[in-house]
């Protein structure tokens, strides 16, 4: 096994060296089994391994933190002790009992809150709670993917191009994996040693042999875990509201900057108005279901938008962010297109 790890490390170094020769790919490492900071797969792994902080939104109205149980709260005059996750329903029932009350959850302090990275903080007042939530930053609306699991231990080959150092580490838990992904930075390349075992939303173990398989597995689990969007009609009402910009585009490497300055307005009749500076152009869009997947076809008259012209899978969306991806029928490459509302 040590020989296998050594060979993998050597290959990782060689792959990185090859990538350095590619002008556009020098900061991204295009080897299909590499994981780099802020890539779509890195973000999916983080959401799968994070401390599940959205499960108690009925208590704290925030997907960024979770209250450590037990806690005692007051809702519309009802004193409720929340000892287990099953008791969240008691709080929801108290909120739903009447339509003319304030539904505010008042905590009995002190409480302990947990963050996505598994750290904790003791909170003594509402103001401290508010400040702690604000310090977490902006909630992008995409919650944890917690109905699936990565089975540990797993091994990671790591190459630090800044110091020319290769290493292999063993990861034993969700908290260790989440914090490893969170600390990935430019110049650090990681590669999972496959195969690994994961557990799907039905409790069945599945063997994963590559990044592509892992990404597809997580993507396909989003709806089962309560995330994403399952209705193309809801999607259509969201995308036709306001204007949008490309916040991420990946085709072999990050090409987001190519689309800076473009604003897209999706119109109910299936047309798209594209504005850059004072120049207008047109396009078209269509949503449909293909093999149980929600899809969106995009086409544009502007040749500079030719790479966006494709049939995209609607992976997930909120009212302000849309995640699309396309798997090439030729070589199986995965392209990503994210729109963010202006």
pLDDT in tens, the chain (342 residues): 444 444 454 444 444 443 433 333 333 444 667 898 888 899 999 999 999 999 999 999 999 999 999 999 999 999 999 999 999 999 999 999 888 888 899 999 999 999 999 999 999 999 999 999 999 988 888 889 999 999 999 999 998 887 777 899 999 999 999 999 999 987 888 999 999 999 999 999 999 999 989 998 998 898 888 765 545 568 999 999 999 999 999 887 889 999 999 999 999 999 999 999 999 999 999 999 998 888 999 999 999 999 999 999 998 998 899 999 998 766 668 899 999 999
| Phi, psi torsion values for 143, nearest 5 degrees | -90, 180
What pLDDT is recorded for position 331?
A: 66
For 171, left (φ over 0), alpha (ψ -120 to 50), or beta? beta
Please give the DSSP secondary-structure letter assigned to residue 52. -
Decide if 272 contacts 309 (C-beta within 8 A). Answer: no
d(CA 174, CA 145): 12
pTM over 0.95: no
Q: At what angle do helices 40-49 and 211-221 cross, to 10 degrees?
A: 60
| pLDDT given at position 244 | 98
Residue 45 · residue 31 · CB < 8 Å = no
The closest of 12, 3, 30, 9 to 335, measured between CA atoms, is 30
Instruction: Identify whether the C-beta of residue 227 lies closer than 8 Å to the C-beta of residue 317.
Output: no
89's CB contacts (< 8 A; 6+ apart) are none
Are 13 and 235 a contacting pair, CB within 8 Å?
Answer: no
The pLDDT, as a whole number, for residue 277 is: 92
**Helix 40-49 with 174-182: angle, nearest 10 deg:** 150
Q: Is residue 13 within 8 Å of residue 166, measured between CB atoms?
A: yes
- Burial (Cβ within 10 Å: 0-12, 13-18, ≥19) of residue 148: buried
């Amino acid at each position: 096994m040590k020989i296998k790890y050594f060979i993998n490390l050597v290959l990782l170094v060689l792959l990185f060296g090859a990538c350095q020769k590619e002008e556009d790919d020098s900061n991204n490492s295009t080897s299909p089994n590499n994981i780099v900071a802020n890539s779509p797969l890195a973000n999916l792994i983080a959401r799968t391994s994070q401390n599940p902080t959205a499960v108690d939104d009925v208590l704290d109205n925030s997907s960024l933190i979770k209250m450590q149980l037990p806690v005692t709260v007051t809702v519309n005059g009802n004193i409720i002790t929340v000892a287990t996750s099953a008791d969240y329903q008691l709080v929801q029932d108290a909120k739903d009992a009447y339509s003319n009350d304030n539904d505010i959850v008042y905590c009995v302090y002190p409480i302990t809150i947990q963050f996505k990275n598994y750290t904790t903080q003791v909170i003594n007042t509402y103001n401290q709670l508010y400040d702690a939530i604000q310090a977490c930053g902006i909630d992008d609306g995409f919650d944890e993917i917690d109905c699936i699991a990565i089975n540990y231990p797993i091994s990671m080959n790591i190459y630090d191009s800044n110091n020319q150092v290769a290493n292999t580490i063993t990861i034993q838990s969700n908290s260790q994996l989440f914090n490893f992904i969170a600390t990935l930075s430019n110049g650090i390349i990681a590669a999972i040693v496959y195969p690994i075992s994961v557990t799907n939303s039905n409790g069945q173990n599945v063997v994963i042999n590559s990044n592509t398989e892992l990404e597809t597995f997580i993507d396909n689990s989003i709806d089962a875990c309560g995330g994403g969007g399952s209705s193309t009609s809801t999607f259509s009402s969201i995308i036709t509201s306001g204007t949008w910009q490309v916040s991420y585009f990946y085709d072999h490497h990050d090409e987001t900057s190519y689309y800076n300055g473009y604003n897209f307005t999706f119109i109910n009749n299936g047309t798209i108005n594209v504005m850059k500076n004072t120049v207008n152009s047109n396009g078209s869009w269509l949503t449909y279901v293909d093999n149980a997947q929600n899809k969106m076809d995009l086409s544009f008259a502007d040749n500079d938008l030719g790479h966006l012209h494709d049939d995209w899978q609607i992976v997930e969306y909120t009212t302000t962010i849309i995640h699309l991806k396309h798997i090439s029928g030729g070589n199986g490459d995965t392209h990503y297109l994210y729109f963010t509302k202006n």
